[in-house]
């Protein structure tokens, strides 16, 4: 049974807009490989971080909502962990 999830991640601030869009597209591709459905991507923009991460004080926030089988999330998290352009991410199951 598919459940709804939200994935929020922060992209490093020093890359170009084209590179940032490529990072977002690569995350969406990871979700497609995991058979995610109803994928909705919202670019929230560059924001100040609550604390410095790797000496960076800002980051570009992206929120993706989707539905997927829970068993497929293991591969998604592995691929997110190896992406060097992502500063942080959080994956949350919805209601």
Is residue 2 within 8 Å of residue 91, measured between CB atoms?
Answer: no
- Total count of domains within the chain: 1
Distance CA 20, CA 22 (A): 5
List, for residues 67-77, the tens digit of each pLDDT value: 999 888 999 99
Please tell me the number of Cα atoms within 13 Å of 64 on its side-chain side.
24
List, for residues 24-55, the tens digit of each pLDDT value: 999 999 999 999 999 999 999 999 999 999 99
At 72, which CATH number?
Answer: 3.30.70.60
**Best CA proximity match to 86, nearest among 1, 94, 38, 78:** 78
Domain residues for 50? Answer: 3-93
Q: How confident is the model at residue 95 (pLDDT cuts 50, 70, 90)?
A: confident
Angle between helices 73-82 and 17-33 (to 10 degrees): 150
Coil, strand or helix at 76: helix
């Amino acid at each position: 049974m598919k459940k709804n999830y939200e994935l929020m991640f922060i992209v490093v601030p020093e890359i170009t807009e084209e590179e940032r869009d490529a990072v977002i597209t690569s995350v969406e591709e990871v979700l497609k490989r995991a058979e995610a459905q109803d994928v909705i991507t919202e670019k929230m923009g560059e924001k100040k971080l609550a604390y410095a991460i790797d000496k960076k004080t800002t980051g570009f926030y992206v929120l993706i909502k989707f539905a997927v089988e829970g068993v497929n999330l293991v591969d998604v998290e592995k691929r997110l962990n190896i992406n060097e352009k992502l500063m942080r991410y959080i994956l949350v199951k919805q209601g």
